[in-house]
Every structure is written in structure tokens, then in C-alpha cells.
């Protein structure tokens, strides 16, 4: 099961994930993603600190989100990955494609006026 919190800050949307991100909850994640993209933000950030498990289907979905974000001129950033998810991203070499940072750096760079 996954819970997704949504924070909106001007033209930034932050999706806060908690729980297991796997094939069974993709419809919910995709619905939240579509709703976020529909609002035409300049940036969508994914707070991944609370993700305890992620499977290959979920990773494929994140790659799909990145491709869609690029076509819609939306910047996609992942931050605060827990250590096991961070290692998985590194093994899959996703850190070469995704922008991954810490919450502190994200807020300093993108949320300075908030």
C-alpha cells in the first residue's frame, strides 16, 4: 500500500510518498501524477523518504513520468530517497537520468521564496 500526500507551492507540486510502491498501486500513483501534470506546474518533486519498497514496474512508471515531464516542459526531481531505494536507483543507473537530491538542497534551490 502507498499513501501519497500532495503539497502545492505556486507552480511547484510535491508528491510525498509513504509505503510500498509496486504494481498493485500503480493506478493510484498514475492518477495522482495525471492530476499534478494537468495543473501545468513548472516542477514536480517526489519526496521519496517514506518509500519502503519499490519494484521494477514502479521504476518503469517513474521513467515514463520523466519522459512525459520532459515533453511537457516540467522539471521532475526526486529527493530524500531512503538508503535502500537510493542503492536500487544507483544499481539501475537511474541516477544518470533522474535529478536526485536532498530535501534541504531542493528547498534551498527551488523553494527559496516560500
Q: Which residues pair with 51 in a beta bridge?
A: 19
Q: For residue 95, what pLDDT is reported?
A: 85
Is position 36 within any domain? Answer: no
Helix (H, G, I), strand (E, B) or coil at 19: strand
Is position 38 within any domain? Answer: no
pLDDT digits (tens, 9 = 90+) for 2-20: 999 999 988 999 999 999 9
Residue 114 in this model has a pLDDT that exceeds 70: no
Give me the chain's average pLDDT, please.
Answer: 93
Gap between the Cα atoms of 69 and 1, Å rounded: 25
Higher pLDDT: 50 or 110? It is: 50
Number of domains in the chain: 1
- Mean predicted confidence (pLDDT) in 15-44: 96
Residue 47 in this model has a pLDDT that exceeds 50: yes
Q: For residue 84, what pLDDT is reported?
A: 86
Is position 70 within any domain? Answer: yes
Q: Which has the closest alpha carbon to 4: 24, 43, 33, 40?
A: 33
Could you tell me the CATH number of the domain that includes residue 65?
3.30.750.24
Is position 37 within any domain? Answer: no
DSSP β-ladder status, 2-9 and 12-21? antiparallel
Q: For residue 111, what pLDDT is reported?
A: 82
Residue 93 in this model has a pLDDT that exceeds 60: yes
Q: For residue 1, what pLDDT is reported?
A: 87
- Mean predicted confidence (pLDDT) in 36-55: 95
Q: For residue 92, what pLDDT is reported?
A: 87
Q: What is the domain range of residue 61?
A: 2-6+15-31+43-110
Amino acid at each position: 500500500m502507498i499513501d501519497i500526500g500532495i503539497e502545492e507551492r505556486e507552480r511547484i507540486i510535491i508528491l510525498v510518498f509513504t509505503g510500498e510502491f509496486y504494481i498493485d498501486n500503480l493506478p493510484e500513483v498514475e492518477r495522482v501524477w495525471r492530476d499534478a501534470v494537468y495543473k501545468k506546474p513548472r516542477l514536480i518533486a517526489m519526496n521519496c523518504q517514506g518509500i519502503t519498497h519499490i519494484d521494477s514496474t514502479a521504476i518503469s512508471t517513474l521513467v515514463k513520468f520523466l519522459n512525459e515531464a520532459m515533453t511537457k516542459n516540467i522539471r521532475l526531481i526526486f529527493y530524500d530517497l531512503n538508503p535502500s531505494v537510493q542503492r536500487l536507483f544507483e544499481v539501475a543507473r537511474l541516477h544518470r537520468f533522474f535529478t536526485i537530491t536532498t530535501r534541504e538542497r531542493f528547498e534551498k534551490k527551488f523553494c527559496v521564496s516560500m
